[in-house]
Structure 1
Amino acid sequence: MSRTSFLFTSESVSEGHPDKVADRISDTVVDLFLSKDPEARIACETLTTTNLVVLAGEIRGKGIMDVSGNWAPGIEAEIEAAVRAAVRDIGYEQDQFHWNTFEFINRLHGQSADIAVGVDAAGEKDEGAGDQGIMFGYASNETPELMPATLAYSHNILKKLADVRHAGGSILEPDAKSQVTLHYEDGKPVRATSIVVSTQHARGKTQAEVAAVVKPVVESVLPQGFITNETVWHINPTGIFEIGGPDGDTGLTGRKIIVDTYGGAAPHGGGAFSGKDPTKVDRSAAYACRYLAKNVVAADLADRCTIQISYAIGVAKPQSIHVDLHGTGKIAESVLEENILDLIGGATPRAIREHLGLNKPIYARTAAYGHFGRDADADGGFSWEKTDLVEKLKALA
């Protein structure tokens, strides 16, 4: 029997966290290359540390790099300019990590021919998955975004703090982390038992001064009544947080996959999203799984839904699908397993990309505050958050 009363915790990190700086840079490269060639292949990893940014990975695409591995004229300068602009947008102008002065090293190179031959469409062969793997999607009706409440509030706290910082005149600096613990009764969140926020701040500022900025933001994010006299607060619990970002800790692409997805409330297949073009099922199929799970919950066919799809490298057709409605379903899970992939063309890599319109420069915006639980954008960003399958799913019930 599943528990209905419990504590659960999720965390988030800000756009200025060193790992998120790396994610933002990697996805900026993805967007730049897709803007030149929608069929570009990109696997871009970023390392950030004190006054240094390093790119590495495998790429190919028209107007980017030829088959011999030679850069197109001017593209290397474009890459560096885009990377510096991304760091500037985050807000790093510190002595030990400044957008205009950090050392930049580009070690991107051509994609392996062995991978290309397995993934590309040819003759009767459809485009195959870029790698083997298991991908999960999840949705829950505990928030309007159909996301776990602990993660949604953790994200929103940091997003609002970033808005305060970007507005100017704040003591806040870019690097920050949050953590929200909620008490659930009858399976629903009812109050916050603990709030943790650690945020980088201007030199010489006190813990009390930081708390005076942070507490009102937290209180504005959580629902009325969630903060009580018994809520435990930890704001900059070490007392000082002046050195942060890549100067305080090394950042790497793809290290915040639980922050990026469901905050631990659902399984994760292990693959990161950022830095990968949409032929990589680590990214596109995870988006498809969220899209399907969200539509199931939006159709009121379940309070919670987890969907898993698996792939083999070079093979177009998924190897399996598993649906779990966590005992809340109004439809048989087997019915969804038999029919739901047909709603997105069988969930082949090509079908997912075409259904969700993923071959566009829409990825830098996903690099912070979660890939899920966001509003779909008019230009196709966050297309996997649409609920346009609701009526078709209701017809299956």
Structure 2
Amino acid sequence: MSYLFTSESVSEGHPDKVADQISDAIVDAILAQDPQARVACETLVTTGLVVLAGEITTSARVDYEAIARQTIREIGYDRSELRFDAESCGVITTIHRQSPDIAQGVNRGQGLDPDLGAGDQGMMFGYACRETEEYMPMPIAYAHRILRELAHIRKHEKHLMPYLRPDAKCQVTIEYTDQGQPLRVHTIVLSTQHEEFAEDWKHMHRQIEEDVRTKLLPRVLPPDMVDERTRLFVNPTGRFVLGGPHADTGLTGRKIIVDTYGGRAPHGGGAFSGKDPTKVDRSAAYMARYIAKNLVAAGIADEVLIQVAYAIGIARPVALYVNTYGTARVPLSDSEIAQKLLELFDLRPAAIIEHLGLQTPIYRPTAAYGHLGRTPAEIPFTHTTCVIEQTSNGPQEKYLTETRKATTFPWEKLDQVERLREAFAVQETLSN
């Protein structure tokens, strides 16, 4: 017998993802100037309107409206016929400072814990398995791949599918053996927004389905995972002309399962986008993924789930849980593995931030196609500092800029493998 498991992804033009990307673009703009900033930025997008709200404490000078418009433009909402576009939409900003009661707990030396405490209570999860080269579950990995390639075609190879618009969703069902091994792609559901390029909607539907089958999917799916029984549903309603924020209101933080493991692993409930790394919803979830991925790559287990829990204002986690689902390759119980991990990794927020380099502008790329299972890359950014100079006309602001470097998706690095193999006395070398 076999079983089926399904995950979905959404494109960068999906309304909720538009909101996520605006929020994270604001986080990046602030961190580029003020790495110590406290940011909690929520975005709402709807027909002709963007609303920015939240709590931000920073010395940075940031044009929130300009960032929102530029992000919308880069996604592809750049013309009026989409009924939501960067030039004509209204932008309302209602942002205030972080609560002093919260700040007291997350600023060093101000709260009960002298260290930088967790920005909130809660539990965060990290997960890794050996199903794909990204150490991610296959359903969510394939769904992301399909939509990333669809966006690439829309932006860079328009001649292949010239009718594409930004909004899209993809759902992938994988058939597994009873032992949990992926067998085949069972079903793909893809809904993609498109121009009204023909009077007959049935003709449009046939054209889009044919292009998806022959031009898109062969680029991203391994041939041995697709067979004649694989089912494909493209735009199952028949047409998808109206989309994006005009058709559906989008909000930051509503795609947390898309952002993580596609439902394969639990989720603590806290969204990532719009938050600076003192929020353990974000930083601790990244750290848990980092540990889980390195554990699997080191051959300690074939599948690992990690849960870490915090109390607001307290630096050290209140609990760490590990589940290897019976796949551990070392003679230790899961609780013993958890104890050893506490000895190997410093899970205080400040230590996580420093180890992964999280106080840098690396978050906009995370806000579409998954925060996890991505490839780290070094990027340059411009750091801006405002200084006050005394002149004959009184104090004057002067802005100094320098080019710095940051690493995107640092929690995906496999730089702890040898350290873990040594600590757990792993002998054999495993290949994915």
TM range (shorter): over 0.9
Of 359, 368, 382, 2:409 maps to 382
Aligned-pair distance for 1:82? Answer: 1.4
Write the distance in 2 (CA, Å) between the matches of 1:84 and 1:376: 27
SS in structure 2 of the partner of residue 316 of structure 1 = coil
Measured after TM superposition, the shift of residue 100 of structure 1 is: 1.1
Q: CA deviation at 1:375?
A: 0.7
Counterpart for residue 358 of structure 1: 358
Gap runs ≥5 in structure 2: 199-203, 379-405, 425-432
Q: RMSD of aligned C-alpha atoms?
A: 1.3
For residues 264 and 45 of structure 2, the distance between their equivalents in structure 1, rounded to whole angstroms, comes to 29
TM-score, with structure 1 as normaliser: 0.94
Counterparts of 1:156-305 in structure 2, within 5 Å, are 156-167=145-156, 168-169=158-159, 170-185=162-177, 186-205=179-198, 206-215=204-213, 216-305=215-304
SS at 1:59 equivalent: strand
Q: Report how far residue 181 of structure 1 moved.
A: 0.5
> SS at 1:328's partner residue?
coil
1:139, distance to aligned residue in structure 2 (A) = 0.3
Contact 2:10-2:168 at 8 Å conserved across structures:
yes
Provide the C-alpha distance between the structure 2 equivalents of 1:214 and 1:363, rounded to a whole number of angstroms.
30
* 8 A contact 1:119–1:130 mirrored in 2: yes
Q: Which residue matches 2:403?
A: none
Contact 1:302 1:329 in 2 (8 A): yes
Q: Match for residue 24 of structure 2?
A: 27
The answer for the alignment partner of 1:319 in structure 2 is 318
Q: Letter of the aligned partner of 1:385 in structure 2?
A: E
> In the TM superposition, what is the alpha-carbon distance from 1:223 to its structure 2 partner?
1.5
1:344, 1:355 within 8 Å by CA — same for their partners in 2?
Answer: no
Kindly indicate whether the alpha-carbon contact (under 8 Å) linking 2:118 and 2:312 is maintained by their aligned counterparts in 1: yes
Moved more, 215-224 or 267-276: 215-224
CA contact (8 A) 2:29 2:361 kept: yes
* CA offsets 1:320-353 (integer angstroms, 9 cap, x no match): 00000011001222332112134332x0010000
**Paired residues of 1:335 and 1:396 also in contact (CA < 8 A):** no
Matched, 1:121 2:121: no
More off after superposition, 291-300 vs 55-64: 55-64
Other-structure match for 2:76: 91
Verify: 1:16 aligned to 2:13, yes or no. yes
Structure 2 counterpart of 1:52, one-letter code: L
Deviations 1:217-253 (A, max 9, x none): 1232221222221111110000010000000100000
Aligned to 1:140: 129
**Larger CA deviation: 376-385 vs 39-48:** 376-385
Amino acid at match of 2:356: L
Q: What amino acid sits opposite 1:113 in the alignment?
A: P
**Structure 1, unaligned runs of 5 or more:** 65-74
Shift of 1:93: 2.1
Give 1:393 shift.
Answer: 1.0
Instruction: Name the counterpart of 2:34.
Output: 37
Residue 381 of structure 2 corresponds to which residue in structure 1? none
Q: Deviations over 1:251-293 (max 9, x none)?
A: 0000000000000110000000000000000000000000000
The residue that corresponds to 2:55 in the other structure is 58
Post-superposition offset of 1:354:
0.3
Matches of 2:368 and 2:349, distance apart in 1: 25
What TM-score, normalized by structure 2, do the two folds share? 0.86
State the distance in 2 between where 1:301 and 1:5 align: 27
Q: C-alpha separation between the residues in 2 aligned to 1:93 and 1:84?
A: 9
Residue type of the partner of 2:74?
D
**What corresponds to 2:430 in structure 1?**
none
Q: What amino acid sits opposite 1:367 in the alignment?
A: A
Report the counterpart of residue 339 of structure 1 in structure 2.
340
Maintained 8 Å contact 2:15/2:244: yes
8 Å CA contact 2:167–2:243 kept in 1: the answer is yes
Shift of residue 61, structure 1, vs aligned partner: 1.1
Distance across 1 between alignment mates of 2:342 and 2:249: 40
Structure 2 CA distance for aligned equivalents of residues 344 and 200 of structure 1: 45
CA drift of 1:175 comes to 0.1
Distance 2:304 2:221 in 1: 24
- Please tell me the residue identity of whatever aligns with 1:48: V
Look up the SS of the partner of 1:395 in the other structure.
helix
SS in 2 for 1:137: strand
Report sequence identity in percent.
54
SS of 2:166 mapped into structure 1: strand
The count of aligned residue pairs is 381
Contact persistence 1:18–1:48 (CA under 8 A): yes
Native 8 Å contact 2:163 2:197 kept in 1: no
What letter matches 1:183 in structure 2?
A: E
Kindly state the Cα deviation for residue 159 of structure 1 after the two structures are TM-superposed.
0.2
AA aligned to 2:96 is H
Please state whether the residue corresponding to 1:98 is helix, strand or coil. coil
